[in-house]
Amino acid sequence: MGKRVNIPAGDSARILDAVTFLHQVADDNPPLLGRRVVVYGGGDTALDAARTARRLGATDAVIVYRRNQEHMPAHGEELEQALGEGVTMRWLSTINQVDVGTIVLEKMRLNAEGFPEATGEYEEIGADSVVLALGQDTDLSLLTTAHDIHVSDGVVEVESDLMTSGRGIFAGGDAVPAERTATVAVGHGKKAARGIDAFVRGVSPATPVKHDVAAFENLNTWYYSDAERTQRPELERVRRQDNFEEVVMGLTERNALFEARRCMSCGNCFECDNCFGVCPDNAVLKLGQSGKYEIDLDFCKGCGICVHECPCGAIEMIPERI
Ligand SMILES: Cc1cc2nc3c(=O)[nH]c(=O)nc-3n(C[C@H](O)[C@H](O)[C@H](O)COP(=O)(O)OP(=O)(O)OC[C@H]3O[C@@H](n4cnc5c(N)ncnc54)[C@H](O)[C@@H]3O)c2cc1C
Ligand code: SF4
Ligand code: SF4
């Protein structure tokens, strides 16, 4: 559900919210926006709305955002794509008033904490419609009778395994306090699945150990083949003007597999067996595919060869406590 904000507006001013607008377009029932469309917001939804308006025939698709590019929550490549398609930006601006055919913008400045502050400087620009893309509220109507599930600030409270205060009920993605992106939602799905598995088996959820990020100097880059990154095919800009064809195409199965093989697995053992092979004292024990390896400390003399030879920096030497 798109968030609304109270902007002083004349009776016939055309204001709609971005999620409804995008739904209508997806349902093949686009609303009439006119030639000059102003989108208010700074996230991916604002960019989607402006790019969609361009495809529907808007000559001006202007995004009004109260902060600057550095503070914009939208993904950088989405902004780049939008600008390439003729969307324009009004940084450091807020909408003060909407009337038929015009809107009044107020210029903003950022304070030391990066928050926008009003300047009292106004400007009028032409606009046939205003699309509000000010974020979304999660639809929690499903929970109206679930009194044991705690909701705060419009999202569901969860433990670290994503279980809600209702026993055996888990939540994730946009429904919980977190960054609202597709990757976070997918990650939550995986985490919640682990939590559900532990709950059903009656054991405490295992938290996978997070190790430090392997620095570049810990990698042995010679181990990996030198391979150019596969570029995903992109639809030419001129062919995007009046249709909703896919803009950035996916990879073929062959290329996707190739890309996956370019992963250097930084800090994560990928069972190359190097340590097992190079240890002069046979101190590296193979535990089978899932168990990976263990160092038999009764045999290890601490020469560090395995650390040196591990391609991905997965082994760390810790000084012995005496
Ligand atoms: C316009 C727009 C553009 C975005 N662009 C990006 C982007 O470029 N990159 C990015 O990373 N993120 C983007 N996001 C955010 C991203 O889409 C969300 O963060 C992500 O989809 C959240 O996943 P989710 O599984 O929590 O919820 P959703 O993807 O919303 O999935 C919830 C599902 O539950 C279903 N549902 C709801 N109620 C019920 C019910 N009572 N019974 C059964 N099913 C129900 C819904 O129909 C829906 O299918 C965008 C969001 C919007 C709105
Ligand atoms: S530090 Fe040396 S002895 Fe110990 S496991 Fe590594 S290679 Fe083997
Ligand atoms: S720890 Fe390193 S060297 Fe040993 S098997 Fe894993 S990736 Fe290979």
Integer Cα distance of 157 and 172 in angstroms: 10
Determine which residue's CA is closest to atom 8 belonging to ligand 2.
Answer: 279
Same domain, 226 and 149: no
* Residue 290: partners with Cβ closer than 8 Å, 6 or more residues away: none
Same domain, 85 and 167: no
Same domain, 277 and 190: no
210 found inside a domain: no
Same domain, 238 and 289: yes
Among 211, 269, 293, 307, say which to mutate for ligand 3: greatest number of ligand atoms within 8 Å of CB: 269
> In the structure, what pLDDT confidence band is assigned to residue 199 with cuts at 50, 70 and 90?
very high
Instruction: Report, as an integer, the average pLDDT of 62-78.
Output: 95
Q: pLDDT > 90: what percent of the chain?
A: 73
Q: Is the pLDDT of residue 11 over 70?
A: no
Q: Is the CB of 185 under 6 A from ligand 1?
A: yes
Q: Hey, what amino acid is at 222? A: W
Q: Hey, what amino acid is at 316? A: E
Average pLDDT, the chain: 91
Same domain, 119 and 182: no
Same domain, 122 and 55: yes
Integer Cα distance of 194 and 174 in angstroms: 19
Among 3, 44, 169, say which to mutate for ligand 1: greatest number of ligand atoms within 8 Å of CB: 44
Q: Is the pLDDT of residue 274 over 90?
A: yes
Determine which residue's CA is closest to atom 15 belonging to ligand 1.
Answer: 181
Q: What is the pLDDT of residues 19-56, one digit of tens each?
A: 999 999 999 999 999 999 999 999 999 999 999 999 99
Atom of ligand 3 nearest to the CA of 284: 4
Q: Starting from the CA of residue 275, give the closest ligand.
A: 3
Give residue 130's Cα distance to chain centre.
26
Q: Starting from the CA of residue 272, give the closest ligand.
A: 3
Q: Starting from the CA of residue 20, give the closest ligand.
A: 1
27 found inside a domain: yes
Q: Starting from the CA of residue 293, give the closest ligand.
A: 3
Residue-level pLDDT at 132? 95
Q: Is the pLDDT of residue 302 over 90?
A: yes
Same domain, 193 and 244: no
Residue-level pLDDT at 2? 67
> In the structure, what pLDDT confidence band is assigned to residue 205 with cuts at 50, 70 and 90?
confident
Integer Cα distance of 278 and 21 in angstroms: 62
Last-in-domain residue among 132, 153, 175: 132
Give residue 147's Cα distance to chain centre.
31
Q: Hey, what amino acid is at 42? A: G
The three-state secondary structure class of 287 is coil
Same domain, 227 and 292: yes
Instruction: Decide: 171 and 164 in contact? Cβ < 8 Å.
Output: yes
Q: Angle at Cα 262 formed by Cα 259 and Cα 264, nearest 5°?
A: 140
Determine which residue's CA is closest to atom 2 belonging to ligand 2.
Answer: 303
Q: pLDDT > 70: what percent of the chain?
A: 97
Residue indicated by tokens 């995007």: 240
Output the CA 315–ligand 3 centroid distance in Å.
7
Same domain, 189 and 231: no
Residue-level pLDDT at 242? 84
Same domain, 125 and 33: yes
CATH number at residue 57: 3.50.50.60
Instruction: Report, as an integer, the average pLDDT of 153-164.
Output: 94
CATH number at residue 302: 3.30.70.20
Output the CA 91–ligand 3 centroid distance in Å.
49
Instruction: Decide: 219 and 266 in contact? Cβ < 8 Å.
Output: yes
Integer Cα distance of 197 and 203 in angstroms: 9
Q: What is the pLDDT of residues 218-269, one digit of tens each?
A: 999 999 888 888 888 999 888 888 889 999 999 999 999 988 888 899 998 9
- How many domains, in total, are found in the chain? 3
Pocket of ligand 3 (CB under 6 A): 269-275, 310-312, 314-315
The terminus-to-terminus CA distance of the chain in angstroms comes to 60
Q: Are strands 151-152 and 129-132 parallel, antiparallel or unpaired?
A: unpaired
Same domain, 28 and 128: yes
* Residue 136: partners with Cβ closer than 8 Å, 6 or more residues away: 1, 2, 3, 19, 45, 174, 180
Residue-level pLDDT at 12? 64
Determine which residue's CA is closest to atom 6 belonging to ligand 3.
Answer: 269
Last-in-domain residue among 201, 226, 249: 201
Among 16, 142, 180, say which to mutate for ligand 1: greatest number of ligand atoms within 8 Å of CB: 180
5 found inside a domain: no
Other beta carbons within 10 angstroms of residue 161's beta carbon come to: 18
61 found inside a domain: yes
Determine which residue's CA is closest to atom 7 belonging to ligand 3.
Answer: 269
Residue-number span of the structural domain to which 273 is assigned: 216-309
Ranking 50-59, 71-80, 91-100, 257-266 by mean pLDDT, the lowest is 257-266
Output the CA 269–ligand 3 centroid distance in Å.
5
Determine which residue's CA is closest to atom 10 belonging to ligand 1.
Answer: 181
Residue-level pLDDT at 133? 95
